[in-house]
Amino acid sequence: MMIIKLDNRQIPLHYQIADYLLMMLDKGELSYDSQLPPEEELKDLFGVSRTTIRRAMEHLLDKRLVYRKQGKGTFWTESAKAIKNEKLAGLNRQIFGISNETRVTVLSKRKEKSSNEVATILKIPPESTVIVFERLRTLRNKPMSFTINYLPFSIGMKIKKSDLEKRTMLETLEEVIGIELGTIEHEVEITRANSQISHLLQIPVLNPVLTIKTSVFDAIGNPIEVVWTHFVENMYKFKVVLGN
């Protein structure tokens, strides 16, 4: 049997094992509908003591991600089944600075021919018809970001402007369209404001803006969206806290 080696000296081993099991669950290597492997099997899989495995299980129990049935084993809870979507939605809101104080205005929904870049990312023929949404976010009545979403026609036509007034696009894709999300890729760079960005964000033309290009894929790897989000430089703040 192959042994999984976890050697991050900064994090206790039982926490690493608990996180690795959750990762296996997200990737489909463990099933939501079956019990977790027995302690003896996990001990051999990770090459650790039974005590370490028990501490990992206790950590998952404390987080209400698993439960035990006397004489039958350990099983995933409903909270564990939802954890992948919670992580994606939560991290997306964190990356884009979305809070209860953030207000969104859906400026437009339209059809247009895809550029070569959009067609390549979405894996569609050049100049295919795509659906484009433009949105402006404000924080305390000040412009914060301008977002342009490009979606394949078959997906974008199912989304209404009203769907995006209280949801992020990722939440809309999950809750309204019913798509199971997979990988989300972010690329960050500094660009210059064109006339449209200048007008909407109330900054001079050619001022620096922080631009995030986001490519979104479903659970089986199909591209479902590409997004450009332009931030007013001093309105962007991204903080990640990793802990127990």
- Calpha distance 180→195 (Å, rounded): 36
CA-CA-CA-CA torsion sign (243, 166, 238, 149): positive
Q: pLDDT tens digits, residue range 129-179? A: 999 999 999 988 899 999 999 999 999 999 999 999 888 898 899 889 999
Q: pLDDT tens digits, residue range 65-93? A: 899 988 889 998 887 776 655 555 555 66
pLDDT higher than 90, residue 13: no
- Calpha distance 244→242 (Å, rounded): 7
Q: How confident is the model at residue 235 (pLDDT cuts 50, 70, 90)?
A: low
- Calpha distance 208→211 (Å, rounded): 9
pLDDT at 41: 92
pTM, entire model: 0.62
- Calpha distance 123→111 (Å, rounded): 17
Q: Which domains does the chain have, with CATH numbers?
A: 13-81 (1.10.10.10), 84-235 (3.40.1410.10)
pLDDT at 120: 97
24 secondary structure, DSSP code: H
Greatest Cα pair distance, the chain, in angstroms, is: 69
pLDDT at 184: 85
CA-CA-CA-CA torsion sign (243, 66, 167, 189): positive
Residue linked to tokens 């007013």: 232
